[in-house]
Structures are given as structure tokens and as C-alpha cells.
Chains A and B, each alone.
Chain A
Amino acid sequence: MFDSIRAVADHRDLLFMITWRDIRIKYKQSVMGFLWAIFMPMIIVAAGIVIKLAFAVISEEPLKMIDVVTISVKSLPWAFFVASLRFASNSLVSNANLVTKIYFPRLIFPVSAVASQLFDFAIASVVLVVILSVLKVGISIYLLWVPVLLTILILIGIGMGLFFSAANLFFRDVKYLVEVILTFAIFFTPVFYDADMFGKWKTLMMINPVAPVLEGLRDVVVLHQSPDPFWTAYAAIVAVVGLLVSFVFFTRMEPLFAESI
């Protein structure tokens, strides 16, 4: 385990270059370029606002500013998570020529896939911070939770990315499975709504480890209160255990990658 981490650390220049390549080619030959990193999450935010607006019209309650802010704070990390998972799952197969031709720790591929999405997320976050300050959301000591919550989200993303990328290498069915899961996951994750709306069913919703992270972000950024300690701990444990299991699976399978791809 530590050997592999050291190997990845030794290859940090490579990790950087592969990430840089993925970011660079994503926006090559596109007129808008890096602006897409801002527009894409904005579109998701807009979709969320439309849904909230529809709720507001049906329930005949006015659309509250706090709802709009919540949607923005939740949908950006969600967009990051979805993109990371989608990109990481394909990372080994789409780099087949490198997997079969050159040796370096294969962990680099899914990890850099997540890292390149993190870059987009960072750009979008800057925009979000500007919007939030315009809307006078205000700051509090609880914002210190943000890095913790995002780390949990990143670990969940890397863990699932490792597992699905290795599985997809052996069975391309996994790619479609991931697509299906990601398409429907938005219904089972409190992105456009809040887990509290479900009353006694909240527990069921929070089992999804991404849910406590998003709820936690809402708590600390919008409501200025600490996140639920139990569910945050739960998400952290799921993230770490999931990462370990995926890591073992990935490294066990690694010697077979070149001949099975």
C-alpha cells in the first residue's frame, strides 16, 4: 500500500502532466475554451433553480433566496463528482495505448482523471464564491468544514473511480452501468432538494455517502452551522474504507491490465 503511494509520489510529475493533458485537450479547438468550465455548472445550477421555481409555483410559496443559494452550493460539487466518476471509469480504457506500451503505476490514470475534474471544479467554485458574496451569504467559522467535506467527496470519487476503471477494463458493461447509475443518482441524492424534506425517510437518503457531504456543505455555507457529526463521520468512514477496498482490488488486478484490455 505504502509502496504504491510512494510510487505515485515518485511519479508526481507524470501525474501532473497527465492531468494537464486532460485539461488541455478538453478545451482545445473549442471557441469558448475554459469558459465551459464555468458555463457547464451554471447550466446545472439554472436547471436546479427552474425545478425549485416549479416547486414554488405548485406549492404557491415564493421562491426563497436561500433555496437558490443552496442549489448552487450543492450542484457544483455534484457536477464535479459525476464528471469525475464518468471520466475516471473510462480512464484506463481510453489510455489503452499507454497501458499496453509503457509501464508506470496505473493508479495515475484514475487519480489524474479526478484531478483534472477538480480543476474545472476549482474554476467554477471561484465563480460561485463571487456569486455568494454578491448575494451576501456571509462567512462564518464553519466554513473551515468545507475543505474537510470536499476531501471526503474527492476520496469517494477516487475510490469509486479506481474500482470502476479496473472493472471497466475487463468488462466494458461497467461503463454503461456507471452511466445508468449517474443518470438516476440525482434522484437519490439531495441535490435539488434537501434531505430534511423526507422526514423519517431521511436516514435512507443519507446512506448514500455523497448525501451527507452535500447536506454538510449546505449546513456550513448557507445555514452557518456545523454539519451533522454522525453523518459526516459516516461519510468519511465510507470514503476511506471504500478507497482501501478499491485500492486493493485495483492493485491486485493491475498485472492483468495490459493483456486484458
Chain B
Amino acid sequence: MSDIMLEMQGVSKKFRRGQLHDSLRDLIPALTRSLFTRRNGDSLGQQEFWALKDVSFQVKRGEAMGIIGPNGSGKSTILKILTGIMNPTSGEKLVNGSLSALIEVGAGFHPDLTGRENIFLNGTILGMKRREIRAKLDDIIEFSGLREFIDTPVKRYSSGMYARLGFSIACHVDPDILVVDEVLSVGDWAFQNRSMEKMQSIVNGGATVIFVSHNLKAVTTLCDRALFLEHGEVKALGPAHEVADQYISRVARQAESQTSTDKDAFIESVRLLTDSGDLSLVTPGQKATVEVTIRAPRCREPLAVAIAFRDEDYSMFFYVDSARLLSEALTLGPDETRTLRFGLDMHVAPGSYFLNVALTRPDVDELLDHKAPALKFVVHSDVDVRGVANLYPRLEMS
């Protein structure tokens, strides 16, 4: 038995923009043309584009691989090719074992059927036998937390309940290979945590998992390796943390390249300084300074600089701006360069964080320039606390 569960070898996929043929009038000339000209598979016709280009990777037994990338980068197309929903234009794929895919939570639910009925319907759609479902029915209902609504038609469910039921069914399928597309973002906070734990136990249980998500934290927690996809091409493939960092810095670079000096006012530079110098490595409790340099060649209006911190889930946990701190706005002369230093006590938990900086006009709430993320930094600590805030826990026992 081979150890490679999934493999893609030089897979490319061509898609067409717009309609195939709008009408019979377009269809007939198109068909005649295709009869006489032999199309080369590698070339792009009119209105065609590569959704995937020369994608290769291998996933071994028991391995979890994450796929990250911006919207429209081809993540879902990879999944659709792996599952067999679509065939690649060129290249080879190999799937070794039973594969179950969760591409959309609750795909195949019928609104008129009750939760219980939909468990059976959706379960068989995802590849379970009815006998298996009957055995797992209680677990599925329990996990979804929808016991009292289980005999209600799902059209009466809230979208959160709908998603919870869908995820509960999917994570009880138990295939050799599980393919999951952005499903941990469903339900409330408690359910997300439970889903994450369940995913973790599936990974630990030795299943081979492909995990697509925008949640970098989830990807780096669950997966050993990750693949970074952009415009259908593999930009990076390797250990999940390294790939996630590459992804972030690429996003940051793109934000920078958009900054042009012909703006009315702009952020010239952003630095994070700690007592040990200009470092992106911070220890909890350390004093740090965010240094922002701005210029306003063509803007005489009052300005404000805002800084915000985000965690890996991109949720903001700290925000402050110069107008609040100074209780007045800044005005700069045409050739003037102003440097603002925000002194901060970094009472944050270990993890990776992003710093976003924005230059605004507080009077009219207009955004003049922004860097998001301006930089990424890592907080290291010997004590492993979770979350964002660091409350410096001490433990005494008696």
C-alpha cells in the first residue's frame, strides 16, 4: 500500500469567462470553427484563463495540508478536481482511498425536510451508508446541539443552525481523506471552538486532511504543511508556519506597492522599535514604540494617524489614533516630514500579530493612506498562554 494518499502532477485547469454560448447565433459559428481548427490544449482561447496552472503536490497518509491564498486564487478548483467534480485540462491527479469533501456546509439539504431527515440525506450524499448514519445519529445530533429542533424542517432554522447541522454531519463521515473548504467559520464562538477541536481530533486520528481556509491561525494549528496559491499558481509549499508568513508578507508587499508619492498625504515609513532595537520579535510586557513618519505635500487639512493591532484571525484587538491622544489634529507644511512615536506596553500573549497604520482626516472621516498590514511581529514567551491579552498568570496552590 502506497503512502501517498493524494497527488497532483502538473495540473492545469482552463475556465471561460462569461457565457458558453449566448445563443444559437453564436453557437453555430463557434461549432464550425472548432470543427476546422484543432485547438491546442495549452493555448488560451478568447475569454479563457487559467484557474490553475501547473499545480503539483503530494500528501502522505495521516498528513494535514492547508491551502491558503486570496479569493479567486484557485483553492476551490483544486478541491473540485481532487474530488472528481471537475476534470483537469491537463496533468494527473491520484486519489488513494475513500475521499469525502465538505465544500459547502449543508449542500444538499432540502429545506422542507426535517433536521433528522436531512442527516440521512446529507450523510448518504457525503458517502455514508444508512446503517452507519443510524449508528452515529445520536452523536451527530449531540454535536450539533440541535436536539430540540431535530424534527423541525430546516427551512425554519437560522443560518447558524443550518451550518452547525451541516458541519456535524460532515465531521462524522470518517473517510480516509477529508477535504474541507472554509467551514470552521460557521456557527457561534462556542461552536467554532468545538469544530476546531473536532477537526484536530480527526487530524490526530490519522486521517489525511486537506484544509482550505482564510483563517491562518486555524491552518497553522491544524496543518503540518501548507500550500500558498495565487492566480492559480503555487507560490509556496512547505511547513505551514513558513508558508503562512510568506502569504502575509506578500499581502503586505502588495499593500506597499500601491503607495505612491503622488498622494496628497501619505505614510512614509512604519517601524516597530523595542528596547532591543528595530525588531519584529517582542517579549510580553516589553516597552515598544511604533514610529510612523508621514508627509503631506498637497494637504493642508488636519490629519490624524491611527494604529491598530490585529491577531492572526485578523480581528482587531487594539486601536488608537493621534487625535484621541493629542486631542487635536495635526497640520503639516508642504515640505514637512513628521514622525510620530506611539509608546506602548506590549502586554500581549505569545503569537503573531499584525500592525495596521492609517492616515486619516478626522474631521470628514476620510482615509488618505493606509498600510495593512504595515508589519508583522511575533511575541515570544516561555509561558504558554492563549488568547490575545497577557494577564501574567501566577499559580499558587495550598
Chain A interface (Cβ < 8 Å from any Cβ of B): 13-14, 16-18, 20-21, 24-25, 28-29, 97-104, 170, 255, 258-260
* Interchain CA distance A21-B103 in the complex, whole Å: 21
* Interchain CA distance A99-B85 in the complex, whole Å: 7
Contact A98 B125, CB 8 Å, known A16-B130, A21-B110:
yes
Pairwise interchain contact A259-B86, C-beta atoms closer than 8 A: yes
Pairwise interchain contact A102-B86, C-beta atoms closer than 8 A: no
Could you say which residues of chain B place their CB within 8 Å of the CB of A97?
Answer: 104, 107-108
- CB within 8 A of B85: which of A14, A16, A102? A102
**What is the CB-to-nearest-CB distance from B100 to chain A, in angstroms, rounded to a whole number?**
9
Could you say which residues of chain A place their CB within 8 Å of the CB of B103?
Answer: 101-102
Pairwise interchain contact A103-B83, C-beta atoms closer than 8 A: yes
* Interchain CA distance A18-B130 in the complex, whole Å: 12
Pairwise interchain contact B80-A258, C-beta atoms closer than 8 A: yes
Sorted from nearest, which 7 A-B pairs have the closest CB atoms? A101-B107, A255-B87, A17-B124, A103-B84, A14-B124, A103-B83, A258-B85
* Interchain CA distance A28-B153 in the complex, whole Å: 10
Could you say which residues of chain B place their CB within 8 Å of the CB of A17?
Answer: 120-121, 124-125, 130
**What is the CB-to-nearest-CB distance from A7 to chain B, in angstroms, rounded to a whole number?**
11
Question: 0/1 per residue, B125-153, Cβ < 8 Å to A?
Answer: 11111100000000000000000000000
Could you say which residues of chain A place their CB within 8 Å of the CB of B121?
Answer: 17-18, 20-21
Question: 0/1 per residue, B68-87, Cβ < 8 Å to A?
Answer: 00000000000010011111
Pairwise interchain contact B124-A13, C-beta atoms closer than 8 A: yes
* Interchain CA distance A97-B86 in the complex, whole Å: 14
Pairwise interchain contact A102-B113, C-beta atoms closer than 8 A: no
28 contacts between A and B (CB under 8 A): A13-B128, A13-B129, A13-B130, A14-B124, A17-B120, A17-B121, A17-B124, A21-B113, A24-B112, A24-B113, A25-B112, A25-B113, A28-B112, A29-B112, A98-B107, A100-B80, A101-B85, A101-B104, A101-B107, A101-B108, A102-B83, A102-B126, A103-B83, A103-B101, A258-B85, A258-B86, A259-B15, A260-B20
Pairwise interchain contact B86-A104, C-beta atoms closer than 8 A: no
* Interchain CA distance A195-B87 in the complex, whole Å: 48
Could you say which residues of chain A place their CB within 8 Å of the CB of B83?
Answer: 102-103
User: Looking at B84, B85, B107, B120, which has the most chain A CB atoms within 10 Å of its CB?
Assistant: B85
Contact A103 B85, CB 8 Å, known A14-B125, A17-B130:
yes
